[in-house]
Structure formats: structure tokens, C-alpha cells
Structure 1
Amino acid sequence: MLSVALLRPGVVAGAHGVEAVGNAEVFERTGAELKITPCLLGGIFKSTNNQPPMMSFAGVSGKNAMFMREIERYCDRHGFSQFAMNPHFPVNTLLLMRACVAYGRDNDVAPYIEAGVKMMWEDGLKMDDPEVFVASFNAAGFDGQALLEATQDPDVKAELVANTQAAVDRGVFGIPTFFVGEELFFGKDHIEEMEWWLNNRA
């Protein structure tokens, strides 16, 4: 469950998923505002000829094992004791991201994202299955059927496509990506660098 934010200079734009939740203290310390704009990671990969690290590093001995160990250390540092690799990975996030667009039109999107992150990265659910999608969001206190129906709204579809293309046009090639003004920071391992930039250059 991931998204990239694109916004005016002077405000932090960023991804919200495990990475952003784990670094919320950065925004508290700096007083920066995090604005989230949903986009589709698969669309970004297709447009930039990129692919998930587990695929791109598949032929590099030891690389994926180290990648998973880094995730474990990150979760340990930030207290994500319930994190588990989704057994259905890679999951098509189209439904999740369209619903994120729809929900965010009239609501603070953070509760939706937090629920989706839990479903994907704690509960290990197959969130590209419409029945699982509806049942999971119903159980989390949302109207799952309404969210599913909203994913078929032509305006919602178009907005997600536009957001994704805008991200690519701005230089985004993966998630999480953050912008401070026009300065791009990619990856959870560069969030501390972003904090330095906020304090010294923004």
C-alpha cells in the first residue's frame, strides 16, 4: 500500500507506507507537512523500465537476503513487530490505489492507508481479490462495497492515471519517493538525509 505525493514547493511530498509511518517523527521534529497523492507503482515501473528489487537483484548472490535483513532491521528500529512479508506478493495494488483516490476526496486518507498497510503487511491478505478487499475494509470499519464500487468510477480511474504520470514526469522511478520543493529523495534510507535538507536547505 504505497503512494507518492506531488505538491507545491516548501511542503514535503512523500510516500506513505511502512516507511513513512516509521518515520513520522521526522515530520514532528521539522514541522514539515506530509501531503499524500496516490499513484500506481506498477505504472511507474512500466513507464521507467524499472522493476521490484527482488526481481532486479534475483541474479545477484546474497543481495535479496541482505534486502530482507535490512527490512527486518528497519522494522525492529521502528517497532513494527507485526510486519510479515505478504505470501501473495507481488499483489496488484490497482484496487487499493483507486480506492485511495476515491476515499481521499472527502476524507483524511491516513486512516485508509493505515488500514491498507495492515492488511497487506501484517495480515498478509490478497488485496487484489475483490471479495477479500470488501470483507477486509468492512472489518476495519469502512464501507468496503462502496470503496470497491468507487474503483470503477471513470473520474477516479483518470485521476490515478494522471497522478502516476505526473510522478513519472517529475522524475519518480520507485516508491517511497519524497519531494521537498523540487528536491527528490528516494528510499527509506534517505529520509534522514531529507530531514537534514529540511533543516538546512529548505
Structure 2
Amino acid sequence: MAKTIEFIFDFASPNAYMTYKALAGVCERTGATVNYNPCLLGGIFKLTGNQAPFISFAEVRGKNEYNRLESERFLKKHQLNAFKMNPNFPMNTVSLMRGLIVAEEMDRKVEYIDTVLTAMWENEENMGDADVAARALTAAGFDGAAIVEKTQDPAIKQKLMDNTSAAVERGVFGIPTFFVGDEMFFGKERIGQVEEELMASA
């Protein structure tokens, strides 16, 4: 039986970049494929009462510093040497996530994800700016202007909202979240558990 990792996905989090890259090794070892489910992290936070860690732990002495240390360890372990913390963080990714749904309809989802993640988390581009995003997409072989225009389609907007609401109904409260069958895993630190679940269900 085919093994699939469902990745509740938004470009907004640097952890999404890290796990996207790390999952390549998991798929190679297990034969699994990844289904990227476009959702809006801000919408998930609003529906669940959650906040970004750098906000929710701002008053907890040492917590955010430790989170940064964990990220550095993760980057080193997975040899993600191209990663750069974007000085424009946090960025509004609503248009980018709608664009991912457009790319999905074009059967170019993974190519789109690669392009946006590289621009955001390696090249430090302000992808929350529609003009910057359009240029980056065009440079990668997309019609960037057409994708940006298509993000205003009411059906595309509704699809992203529906995806987000459905994810919350399944128990999602943040990103990155993964499902292997009905089993849910949250956070980049759970990559190993995702792999174990895939192997157990083989």
C-alpha cells in the first residue's frame, strides 16, 4: 500500500522550510510521498487561540533562546546550510498560499513550493510583497503576474479557508503538522516519529 505523509503547510514558518527539506530523506528511506495541504497559519492561530512561539513565549525566560538553539541543531543535523532567517519575518503569506492552490491546479505544486521557499528562506526576499513574489515566480518559469491575479479568484480564496477550517477540525493547532493515516504529529522535532510510523505501517 502506498505510504503518504500529509503535510499541513504554510510558507510563513521557517520550520516549514526545515521540515520540507528534511522530509526528502524520510521519503527516500521509506518510499513515502508527501501531500502538501495548503492552509493558512494565521487562520489556524485565530481559530484555535494559538500564537506564534516567539509571541507566546516572549515572557518565558530562556524559552525563545532555547527554541533558536533547537533550530540551529536541526539545521546542522540535516545539513541545511543554505537557510537564512529572513529579515522580513513575519511575512503575510495569504497570497502565496492562494498561489499554491493555483499551482496545484496547474500540476506544478512542488515546483512552486521549491521556488517560494528558496526565495523566502535562502535568498531573504520579501515574498509578502506581491511584486517581489511575481518576479521570483517569473524567474523560475511561472507566469508570476498571472498567478498573483488568480489569487483574487473567490473560489481560490474559499478553498484556502476551507482547507484551514478542515485542518483545525482534525485537531491541527500549528505548522508544521503531519498526518500518517489518522496519526497526527506536530513540529519539526517529530520527523523521527513520522518515519517510525511509516515503517510500522509498511
- TM-score normalized with structure 2 length: 0.90
State the distance in 2 between where 1:10 and 1:162 align. Answer: 25
The match for 1:117 is: 117
Residues of 1 paired with 2:157 and 2:143: CA distance? 19
Q: 5+ unaligned residues in a row in structure 1: which ranges?
A: 1-8
- 8 Å Cα contact 2:57-2:64 kept in structure 1: yes
- Within 5 Å, which residues of 2 pair with 1:42-191? 42-191=42-191
Tell whether the 8 Å contact from 2:39 to 2:164 is kept in structure 1 after alignment. yes
Matched residue type, 1:176: P
- Segments of 5+ residues of structure 2 without an aligned counterpart are 10-15
1:19-41 Cα distance to aligned partner (Å, 9 max, x none): 12222111221122211121111
1:111-157 CA-partner distances (Å, limit 9, x unpaired): 11011111111111221211111122122222110110011011111
The alpha-carbon distance between structure 1 residues 15 and 79, as it changes in their structure 2 partners (threshold 3 A), is farther
Aligned to 1:3: none
Preserved contact between residue 5 and residue 178 of structure 2 (Cα < 8 Å): yes
Structure 2 distance, partners of 1:84, 1:123, is 7
Q: Secondary structure at the match of 1:178?
A: strand
Displacement over 6 Å in runs of 4+: none
- Residue deviations 1:8-29, cap 9 Å, x none? x963211453212222111221
Following superposition, the deviation at residue 108 of structure 1 comes to 3.2
2:76 aligns to what SS in structure 1? Answer: helix
Q: C-alpha offsets along residues 66-116 of structure 1, whole Å, 9 cap, x if unaligned?
A: 111211221122222121111111101101100000111121311110111
* TM-score normalised according to structure 1 size: 0.90
State the partner residue of 1:12.
5
Structure-2 separation of matches of 1:185 and 1:105: 27
Q: Decide whether the 8 Å contact of 2:100 with 2:112 is kept in 1.
A: yes
User: Where does residue 13 of structure 2 map in the other structure?
Assistant: none
TM-superposed deviation, 1:47: 0.3
Identity of aligned residues (%): 46
Report the equivalent of 2:21. 21
The amino acid of 1:41's aligned partner reads L
Aligned-residue CA RMSD in angstroms? 1.6
Change (3 A) 1:83 1:10: closer
Contact 2:133–2:144 (CA<8 Å) still a contact in 1? yes
Letter in 1 for 2:53: P
What is the match of residue 12 of structure 2?
A: none
Number of aligned pairs?
A: 194
